[in-house]
């Protein structure tokens, strides 16, 4: 049989073409066609042994399409989890997307001072803006929140020095990263004080000594302790003397949005006198992945001069998106409209109900009330009540898999034996796109 005569359909194992024969019928580079052909033939053998008819050419084309499709793809998030870590956390505002695209289009003034015609600093683009928004003396941006804490501990403590932390704040964040491990990587020695549920000022006082480099306060973020608890506020911690590193987690910059009242304020910690306040840029702040460090000029200077600063520096695309996002915070009302995370937190109930009805009508479901979550290790007790589309199906897992297989994939959540599509985490345009599916 010639290569061009390889059958499209096969009724027996003997009728299957060779890998090279099948690959030659695919309109694709050899390096892509051969793996697709090999996978299709292997699947065809299993199917034929099970007594099924197969179209090996169509199967090869499906494998080829899958191989050429990017693995990092846009999805429609109908889970109701706003800062969904697995789905990329915060969607960027339009201004941030445009800024990143502009920075990536050609060359830029990333580290170039146009006025002097000489090398500049990438921090110059963001430092003044962060000082303005937080009241800090100085600021630094790095590539993520964990890097900010690592750099702060290394710069203020480091080898031979101690970092004092409450036992109630030895938290683990996503991906099994733990505060003790971060401190260890900084070269510092961790000193634990207090108990899991109660830590007092006296516990810190007894631990402070000649080797104390910093006191670390870590926001619990993705869990809460309630009941017989006690913790030391940042103002009291600063009054003890040693530099305070305050990891406030998600980066709350909006002081007026009621849904964020349970998150620590960056501005408050700066005003209290914390040496370095650390937070993320891609959670409640609503920007790209970044770590923000604001605080006293001497502490930020030490962090900027530390060798780790280059290893954890922010890249130009994230920097451009971060600056554009922070600029929106100059006008709080505009920020709440244009930063998707803030808009989802404060979504109009009537708008949500209209979206839920559209989804329910398209998928043959009903509108019911449910609760959405913030996600991303923030506000674990906050439940955002609102309408969702409930799609009843004898096999909701199978239905969910079918929707994930679409283009773009539609991802909901399963609860009480049904698939729920939550409109809070969809835009009007995304709802229409989902319904056209």
According to the model, what pLDDT value does residue 1 have?
41
Establish how many alpha carbons lie within 13 A of residue 237's alpha carbon, considering only the half-sphere containing its beta carbon: 27
CATH number, domain of 207, equals 3.40.640.10
309/193 same-domain check = yes
According to the model, what pLDDT value does residue 2 have?
45
Mean pLDDT of 326-346: 96
115/245 same-domain check = yes
pLDDT digits (tens, 9 = 90+) for 41-80: 999 999 888 888 889 999 999 999 888 888 899 999 999 9
According to the model, what pLDDT value does residue 274 have?
98
Binned at pLDDT 50, 70 and 90, residue 376 comes out as confident
Structure tokens at 399: 């239905």
Closest CA to 164 of 224, 226, 241, 250: 241
410-411 and 384-392: which strand pairing?
unpaired
Structure tokens at 244: 């305070």
Q: Is the pLDDT assigned to residue 396 strictly greater than 70?
A: yes
Q: Is residue 316 part of a domain?
A: yes
- For residue 379, the enclosing domain spans 76-87+342-436
According to the model, what pLDDT value does residue 178 have?
85
Mean pLDDT of the chain: 92
Percent of the chain with pLDDT over 90: 77
Q: Is the pLDDT assigned to residue 331 strictly greater than 60?
A: yes
117/219 same-domain check = yes
Mean pLDDT of 200-229: 90
According to the model, what pLDDT value does residue 10 have?
66
181/318 same-domain check = yes
Distance CA 9, CA 6 (A): 9
Binned at pLDDT 50, 70 and 90, residue 9 comes out as low
Of 338, 355, 376, which marks where a domain is finished? 338
355/410 same-domain check = yes
Pick the more confident residue, 252 or 11: 252
Q: Is residue 354 part of a domain?
A: yes
Q: Is residue 32 part of a domain?
A: yes
Q: Is the pLDDT assigned to residue 4 strictly greater than 50?
A: no
Distance CA 325, CA 287 (A): 6
358/266 same-domain check = no
- Global pTM value: 0.89
CB atoms within 10 A of CB 256: 9
Q: Is residue 41 part of a domain?
A: yes
Q: Where are the alpha helices (DSSP H) in 25-172?
A: 30-49, 56-68, 94-105, 127-134, 145-156
User: 316-328 and 94-105 helices cross at what angle (nearest 10)?
Assistant: 150
Binned at pLDDT 50, 70 and 90, residue 3 comes out as very low
196/271 same-domain check = yes
pLDDT digits (tens, 9 = 90+) for 111-142: 999 999 999 999 999 999 999 999 999 999 99
Of 288, 314, 338, which marks where a domain is finished? 338
Q: Is residue 1 part of a domain?
A: no
According to the model, what pLDDT value does residue 53 have?
83
215/316 same-domain check = yes
Q: Is residue 2 part of a domain?
A: no
Q: Is the pLDDT assigned to residue 295 strictly greater than 50?
A: yes
303/175 same-domain check = yes
Q: Is the pLDDT assigned to residue 302 strictly greater than 70?
A: yes
How many structural domains comprise the chain?
A: 3
CB atoms within 10 A of CB 152: 34
CB atoms within 10 A of CB 365: 21
Closest CA to 163 of 139, 143, 192, 138: 192
330/359 same-domain check = no
270/395 same-domain check = no
317/379 same-domain check = no
Binned at pLDDT 50, 70 and 90, residue 288 comes out as very high
Binned at pLDDT 50, 70 and 90, residue 8 comes out as low
User: 349-363 and 428-436 helices cross at what angle (nearest 10)?
Assistant: 10
Q: Could you tell me if 79 and 423 are in contact, meaning their C-beta atoms sit under 8 angstroms apart?
A: no
Of 338, 356, 386, which marks where a domain is finished? 338
CATH number, domain of 388, equals 3.90.1150.180
Structure tokens at 288: 């790209």
């Amino acid at each position: 049989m010639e290569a061009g005569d390889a059958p499209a359909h096969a009724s027996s194992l003997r009728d299957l073409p060779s890998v090279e024969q099948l690959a030659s019928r695919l309109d694709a580079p050899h390096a892509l066609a051969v793996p697709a052909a090999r996978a299709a033939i292997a699947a065809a053998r299993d199917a034929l042994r099970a007594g099924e008819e197969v179209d090996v050419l169509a199967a090869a084309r499906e494998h080829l399409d899958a191989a050429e499709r990017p693995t990092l793809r846009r999805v429609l998030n109908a889970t109701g989890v706003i800062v969904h870590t697995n789905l990329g956390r915060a969607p960027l505002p339009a201004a941030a997307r445009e800024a990143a695209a502009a920075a990536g289009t050609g060359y830029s003034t990333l580290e170039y001072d146009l006025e002097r015609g000489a090398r500049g600093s990438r921090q110059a683009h963001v430092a003044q803006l962060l000082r303005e928004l937080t009241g800090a003396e100085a600021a630094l941006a790095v590539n993520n929140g964990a890097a900010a804490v690592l750099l702060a501990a290394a710069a203020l403590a480091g080898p031979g020095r101690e970092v004092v932390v409450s036992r109630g704040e030895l938290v683990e964040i996503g991906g099994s990263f733990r505060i003790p491990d971060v401190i260890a990587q900084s070269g510092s020695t961790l000193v634990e004080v207090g108990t899991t549920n109660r830590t007092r000022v006296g516990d810190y006082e007894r631990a402070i000594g000649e080797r104390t480099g910093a006191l670390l306060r870590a926001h619990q973020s993705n869990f809460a302790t309630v009941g017989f608890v006690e913790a030391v506020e940042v103002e009291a911690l600063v009054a003890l003397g040693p530099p305070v590193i305050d990891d406030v987690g998600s980066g709350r910059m909006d002081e007026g949005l009621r849904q964020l009242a349970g998150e620590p304020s960056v501005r408050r910690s700066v005003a209290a006198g914390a040496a370095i306040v650390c937070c993320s840029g891609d959670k409640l702040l609503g920007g790209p992945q970044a770590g923000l460090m604001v605080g006293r000029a001497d502490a930020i200077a030490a962090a900027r001069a530390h060798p780790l600063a280059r290893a954890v520096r922010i890249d130009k695309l994230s920097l451009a998106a971060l600056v554009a996002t922070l600029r929106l915070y100059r006008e709080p009302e505009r920020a709440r409209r244009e930063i998707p995370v803030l808009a989802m937190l404060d979504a109009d109930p009537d708008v949500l109900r209209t979206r839920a009805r559209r989804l329910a009508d398209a998928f043959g479901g009903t509108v019911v009330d449910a609760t959405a979550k913030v996600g991303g290790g923030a506000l674990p007790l906050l439940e955002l009540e609102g309408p969702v589309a409930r799609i009843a199906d004898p096999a909701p897992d199978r239905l969910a898999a079918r929707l994930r297989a679409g283009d773009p994939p539609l991802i909901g959540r399963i609860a009480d034996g049904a698939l729920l599509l939550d409109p809070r985490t969809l835009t009007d345009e995304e709802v229409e796109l989902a319904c056209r599916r």
